Amino acid sequence: MVDTRILSDKQVLGATGAALGAAAIRQAIAQKGKASIIVATGASQFELLQNLVAAQEIDWSRVTAFHLDEYVGMDITHPASFRKYLQERFVAPLGGDVTFHPVNAEGNPQAEAKRLSAVIAEHDIDVCFAGIGENCHLAFNDPPADFDTEEPYIVVTLDEACRKQQMGEGWFPSLDAVPEQAISMSIRQILKSRLVILSVPDARKAQAVKDALEGPVDPRHPASIVQTHQQAILLLDPDSASKLS
C-alpha cells in the first residue's frame, strides 16, 4: 500500500518530501554512522532539493549520493545534463561535503553502467527521491519496463513520449535534439531502497499517477511497481491527483 498524500501546492510538496527524506537520513546516520541516498532530477524535484540542502542537523560528509539516470553522450555543460543539474542544485549548495557518484555517459555507456553497478552494490540505500514520468516511467525505465534485471544500472532506449516530455519541460529545443538512449538505474535497484519518496506535481502527470496507483502492477506502467514496496510515499498536488478515484 502506497502512502499517498495530497498537498496544497508544489512548494508544500517539495518541503514535505525533503523533511521526510531528511529525517530518514538523520536516522540512518544515527544508527550506523552513514547514509546512502538516491537523488532525482527534472522539474518535479526543484522544490524538494532546495529544501533538502537547507535541512538542519545533517552531517553531509557521512552521506553518499547516487542519481537515477543520464543521457548517453550528454556533455556536462549542456543545460539538460542531469550531472550539471545535481552539481548546481545539490552538490554545490552543500559545499561539496557529500560524496556524489555521477552518471557519466559521455564515453562507453555499457562500461559506465557496469562501473556504477559495482559501486552502488557496496551500499544499502536508505532513501530514494524520485518522480514519475508522464508515460509512468520510473527513472528512465520507459514502458514496457524491465522488472526482472538485477543489474543496478542499465542502458535503455527512450520512447517518444518520454522524449517529448523532456522537450516540453524546456530542456531541449526540439524532439530531434533529445537523445534516444540513456543510462538508467533499474527498477529492482530502486526497489532496494528502504524508503522511496515520489514527488509528482502537475496535471500532466495525472494519468500516470492513476495508472501507477489504481492499475495493475504492469511493465506497461513502470511506476506501478511501487505498489509492491514496503515503504513508498507518493506526494501529489491537487492537479496530479485529479484523476484518482
pLDDT of 96 = 87
123: closest CA among 7, 14, 32? 32
pLDDT at 1 over 90: no
Identify the band that residue 44 occupies on the pLDDT scale cut at 50, 70 and 90. Answer: confident
Residues 231/195, Cβ–Cβ less than 8 Å: yes
221: closest CA among 120, 139, 142, 157? 142
pLDDT at 162 over 90: yes
Instruction: Count CA atoms closer than 13 A to 99's CA, side-chain side.
Output: 11
Mean pLDDT throughout 178-194?
97
Overall pTM surpassing 0.85 (yes/no): yes
pLDDT of 43 = 86
**pLDDT one-digit tens code per residue, 95-115:** 989 999 999 999 999 999 999
Mean pLDDT throughout 212-217?
97
Work out the percent of the chain whose per-residue pLDDT is above 90.
98
pLDDT at 118 over 90: yes
For strands 99-101 and 63-67, give the pairing. parallel
Mean pLDDT of the chain: 96
Q: Which residues contact 68 (CB under 8 A, 6 or more apart)?
A: 38, 39, 40, 41, 82, 130, 139, 140, 184, 185, 190
235: closest CA among 7, 2, 1, 68? 7
pLDDT at 216 over 90: yes
**pLDDT one-digit tens code per residue, 29-43:** 999 999 999 999 988
Identify the band that residue 150 occupies on the pLDDT scale cut at 50, 70 and 90. Answer: very high
Identify the band that residue 71 occupies on the pLDDT scale cut at 50, 70 and 90. Answer: very high
